[in-house]
Amino acid sequence: MSPAPVDDPPRGHIIPIGGAEDRHDDRTILRAIVELAGGSDARIAILPTASRMKDTGARYVEVFDELGVADAVALPLAERSDGEREGYVRELERATAIFLTGGDQLRLSTILGGTTVFKTIRRRNAEGVHVAGTSAGAAIVPEHMLAGGGSGPTPRFTLAQLAPGLGLTNRIVVDQHFSERDRLGRLLTAISLNPFLIGLGIDEDTAAFIGPDDVLEVVGSGAVTVVDPSEIVHNSVAEARTGDPVSMLGLRVHLLAAGARYDLVDRMASTA
């Protein structure tokens, strides 16, 4: 699956969030999403599919309403048949931003994968609508979704499980709750399986705002760890057995705090 064309018009921002974003005080990340989506004219469509909690959608509607949007609506897609409902598709067509909540990313992929709703989100992003996802919603944003795995600092064969994602970009793989849950090892494992990918490890209350020019800017209170395998000279994953540590030589790692940028095309980092 390749990302949709973005030449004319430019695609909307892609915004993976590391989870546990501030929803009560400054709400820096959510406020930035609202501003991108049109401020008081913003129309936010919220997909709480990843969550098993019945009030997840309603809680985000309340937050976005408090931020002054024109409209916020939760689309409770709970079964695959919901992904074909015309009413939900119409709401996505009206939206200026689409927000995927946290929970279990496999619920998102198995319930929505291949449905009209999934295809509509991809098309709307290509048309300029911004798509944000927090926690599980962040993991599913790229073509390659980190579906699960263990913790720890060392990459080990089978530590990471990958599955097809939404496919808004094929340049990255995203891990969330990154430093809080000690997930460096599984992100490195995912990269070892396909060294084309740039790894983004996103801390809680932190987001990577990826613009249509494929330059990301960090927003929030934590950091984004960028792992670039473009200069890798050795990778032992093909010889590893279950549980074995994986050797990778030549990785480049950047730690980006708020305001820092990273060009996903040129693979260059810069500070604010």
Catalytic machinery residues: 135, 177, 204
Q: What does the alpha-carbon distance between residue 63 and residue 180 come to, in Å, rounded to a whole number?
A: 24
Burial class (CB in 10 A: 0-12, 13-18, 19+), 233: exposed
Q: What does the alpha-carbon distance between residue 21 and residue 217 come to, in Å, rounded to a whole number?
A: 16
Q: What does the alpha-carbon distance between residue 75 and residue 45 come to, in Å, rounded to a whole number?
A: 7
State the DSSP code for 97: E
Q: What does the alpha-carbon distance between residue 141 and residue 170 come to, in Å, rounded to a whole number?
A: 9
Amino acid at 249: L
Q: What does the alpha-carbon distance between residue 112 and residue 105 come to, in Å, rounded to a whole number?
A: 11
3-class DSSP state for residue 256? strand
Place of tokens 């695609």: 11
Contact 98, 88 (CB under 8 A): no
Question: What ranges in 67-201 are assigned the alpha helix state H?
Answer: 86-94, 105-112, 116-126, 136-139, 184-193
